[in-house]
Structure 1
Amino acid sequence: MPTSPSTAPAWTKAAWFKPAVIAVGAVVVLGILVLLAKWLRSTEAVSSFIATYPGYASQPAGTPVGLPVWLNWSHFLNMFFIVLIIRSGLQVRYTTRPQGYWKRNNKGLIKTKGQPKKISLDLWFHLSLDALWVLNGLIYWILLFSTGQWKRVIPTSWDVFPHAVSVAIQYASLNWPLENGWTNYNALQLLFYFITSFIAAPLAILTGLRMSGAWPSKAPRLNKAYPIELARSVHFPVAIYFVAFVIVHVTLVLTTGVLRNLNHIFAANDGEGWLGFGFFAAAVVVIVAAWFLARPLFLRPIASLMGSVTRN
Structure 2
Amino acid sequence: MTEPPGTVSAPAVTAAPASVAPSVPAEKPARPKAEPRLYGSRTRGQWIKLVVLLAMGAVAAAAILVLAARGVTTLPGVPEFLARYPGAYDLPDAAEPGFPWWAQWAHFLNFFLMVLIIRSGYQVRTQQKPPAFWTPKRGGKKISINLWLHQTLDVLWLANGLIFVVLLFASGRWMRIVPTSWEAFPNALSALLQYMTLDWPVETGWVNYNSLQQLMYFVVVFIAAPLAAITGVRMSEFWPKDATRLNRIYPMEVARAIHFPTMLFFVLFILIHLFLVFATGALRNLNHMFGGTDAVNWVGFWLFAAAIAITAAGWYAARPLILAPIAKRFGQVSSR
Note the 1:1-312 alignment, pairs <5 A: 15=46, 22-106=54-138, 115-312=139-336
3-state secondary structure, aligned to 1:61: coil
1:240 alignment partner AA:
L
3-state secondary structure, aligned to 1:42: coil
| TM-score, normalising length: structure 2 | 0.84
Q: Which runs of 5+ in 2 are unaligned?
A: 1-29, 33-41
How big is the shift at 1:308?
0.5
Q: Which runs of 5+ in 1 are unaligned?
A: 4-10, 107-114
How big is the shift at 1:241?
0.2
Distance between the aligned counterparts of 1:20 and 1:69, measured in 2? 41
Distance between the aligned counterparts of 1:143 and 1:155, measured in 2? 18
Q: Structure 1's 310 and 152: CA in aligned 2 closer, same or farther, altered over 3 A?
A: same
Name the structure, 1 or 2, with higher relative contact order (CA <8 Å, separation 6+): 1
2:113 alignment partner AA:
F
1:129 alignment partner AA:
L
Superposition RMSD in Å: 1.9
How big is the shift at 1:20?
5.6
Whether the 8 Å contact between 1:163 and 1:188 is mirrored in structure 2 is yes
3-state secondary structure, aligned to 2:73: helix
How big is the shift at 1:306?
0.2
1:193 alignment partner AA:
Y
How big is the shift at 1:273?
1.2
1:210 alignment partner AA:
R
Whether the 8 Å contact between 1:58 and 1:157 is mirrored in structure 2 is no
Whether the 8 Å contact between 1:58 and 1:159 is mirrored in structure 2 is no
1:234 alignment partner AA:
I
How big is the shift at 1:22?
4.6
Task: Tell me whether 196-205 or 41-50 shows the greater mean CA deviation.
Answer: 41-50
Larger proportion of helix = 1
Rg bigger for which structure? 2
Whether the 8 Å contact between 1:67 and 1:265 is mirrored in structure 2 is yes
Q: Percent identity?
A: 49
Deviations 1:254-289 (A, max 9, x none): 111000000101111110011111111110110001
Distance between the aligned counterparts of 2:326 and 2:287, measured in 1? 34
Distance between the aligned counterparts of 2:252 and 2:56, measured in 1? 37
